[in-house]
Amino acid sequence: MNRLRTALYGAGAFLLALLALLAALAAPAQGRAAAGWQAVPPPAPAGLSAYVPFDATSAVARSTVQTSTTCLPCEYEHTLWTRQAGAWRSLPLPAAGVPTDVLTGTAPNDVWALGRGEWGDFGQYHWDGSRWTDRTVPDFEVLAARAVSRTDVWAVGNYRESAGDVPGAVAHWNGSAWTLTKLGEPGAWTNIRAVHVVSADDVWVVGSGGGRLYAAHYDGGSWQEVALPRLSGLSATANAVTVRDGEVWIGGTDRNIYTDSGTPRAFVLRGNGTDWRTTYVPVPAPTGDASEDRMSVQALAVHDGTVWAGLYAERAKDRGLARWNGSAWETAPAPGTTPGSEVTALYPTADGTLWANGLHYPRDYLKGYAASLAPSA
C-alpha cells in the first residue's frame, strides 16, 4: 500500500511538473504578444468588450456574449461592471435595450452610457452610484465620449434631424444640462468619431463628411472647421485624435480603389492645424490580398512622450499597436492573448499608465481584453 501511495504521489508530482513546464513554454509566446503589458483580470469569461479606466484600480467596463447562433442579425447580451479598488461589481443596465456601446466617466459613481439602443433609438444615461438618470438628447447618436470631470463631459457623433441632412454633432455636459452644436457641411452626412480634450479652450474632434476627412477645433468660444489634406483614397475616415506638445495627430483609414487594389491603409496626419504631414503605418509582410492586408488606426494616445496608435489588422498580421519612433511607425503585437487581437481604445491616466482595450479574433463575438503599460522608470 505504501508503495502504491508513493507511486501515485510520484505520478501526481510528475503531472504537476509537466503542466508547469507546458505553462513555462507557453509564457514566452504570451510575453511576445504583450511585452511589458499587464492584463486586467476580467470579471467574466467573455472578457472585456469595453474598459474605461479612472485610475490604477478603478474603471467602468462591459462584457458581451453573443446569444444568437447566426447573425441575421447578431444578438448580444451586455453586462456592465465597475472596478473599485481592484474588485469587480456588477452594474445594472439603465433599462432593457438602451445603449451601452459608448462608456465614459470619472469614478464608479459617475458613469455615462451612451449610443444606439437595441431598437435603433439613441440615448445618454448617467449613473450616480445608486441609480440611472435619463439625460437623452433626442436624435443624437453618440459615437465617442470623454468625461473630464463631473461637470465637463464631451460627446460626439451625428444628429438625425432629417433623412437627407445628418450633420455632425458635439454635445457638452456642464453638470446640469447638455449643449449641442451641429457641425459639418449643410446637406452632407457627417460622422464625428473621436474627441480629444486638451483644456476648456482647446478641444479637437475628427471624423468624416461629404466623402472627405473632417476636423474641427473649439477655442473656448466657438467651433471652427479645420481644413485637412485630401489623401490618396476616395473614402477616408478619421477615427482618432490626440495632441502632443501642441502638435495634433489624427489617425484613421484611407482607401483608394483605383491605386491600392481596394486595400484600406492606416494613416496618421500630424500638424499644427494649418500645415499637415501624412504618414502610413506599414503592413508587416504584406500579401497583396486586400482582405488580409487591411489596416486602420482606431485610437491614438501619448505615453512616455511617444505617440501610440491602436490598430485594426487582419489576424495573419497579429499587429494591433504601432509607435512613432521619431521618423516612422513601428508595429507591435496587441496585448491581447490571441493572434489577430486588435486595439479599439487607448487611455492614458494621470499616473502615466497607458491602458489598452480591444477585441480578440474573431471580433464578431465581441470577446475583449484590457491591459496596462506602466510608465518607464
pLDDT (tens digit, 0 to 9) for every residue of the chain, 377 residues total? 434 333 433 444 333 333 333 333 333 333 333 579 999 999 999 999 999 999 999 999 999 998 888 887 888 899 999 999 999 999 999 988 899 999 999 999 999 999 998 888 899 999 999 999 999 999 999 999 999 999 999 999 999 877 668 999 999 999 999 999 999 987 788 999 999 999 999 999 999 988 789 999 999 999 999 999 988 766 789 999 999 999 999 999 987 655 555 567 899 999 998 899 999 998 877 777 777 788 899 999 999 999 999 999 876 667 899 999 999 999 988 998 777 789 999 999 999 999 999 998 877 788 999 999 999 97
Please tell me the predicted confidence (pLDDT) of residue 256: 64
Residue identified by cell 444640462 is 177
Tell me how far apart the alpha carbons of residues 63 and 79 are, in angstroms, rounded to a whole number. 5
Strands 140-149 and 329-332: unpaired
Q: Where are the alpha helices (DSSP H) in 191-254?
A: none
Q: What is the pTM of this model?
A: 0.88
Q: Report the amino acid identity of residue 50.
A: A
Q: Report the amino acid identity of residue 348.
A: P
Tell me how far apart the alpha carbons of residues 73 and 87 are, in angstroms, rounded to a whole number. 34
The single-letter DSSP state of residue 100 is -
Q: Report the amino acid identity of residue 184.
A: G
Residue 20 grid coordinates: 508547469
Q: How many helices (H) and strands (E) does the chain have?
A: 2, 28
Please tell me the predicted confidence (pLDDT) of residue 335: 92
Q: Are 346 and 308 in contact (CB under 8 A)?
A: yes
Sheet holding 202-209, edge to edge: 190-199, 202-209, 212-218, 223-225
Pick from 202, 203, 212, 167: which is nearest to 186 by CA? 167
Q: Where are the alpha helices (DSSP H) in the chain?
A: 2-33, 290-293
Residue identified by cell 493572434 is 339
Answer left, alpha or beta for residue 70, where phi above 0 means left and psi between -120 and 50 means alpha: beta
Please tell me the predicted confidence (pLDDT) of residue 348: 97
Tell me how far apart the alpha carbons of residues 127 and 130 are, in angstroms, rounded to a whole number. 7
Other C-beta atoms closer than 10 Å to the C-beta of 84 total 15
H or E stretch at 24: helix 2-33
Tell me how far apart the alpha carbons of residues 90 and 81 are, in angstroms, rounded to a whole number. 4
CA 64, 319, 304, 147 torsion: positive or negative? negative
Please tell me the predicted confidence (pLDDT) of residue 10: 42
Q: Are 234 and 256 in contact (CB under 8 A)?
A: yes
Tell me how far apart the alpha carbons of residues 262 and 278 are, in angstroms, rounded to a whole number. 19
Determine the 3-state secondary structure of 266 from DSSP.
strand
Beta bridge partners of residue 332, listed in sequence order = 321
Tell me how far apart the alpha carbons of residues 201 and 288 are, in angstroms, rounded to a whole number. 45
Q: Are 143 and 192 in contact (CB under 8 A)?
A: yes
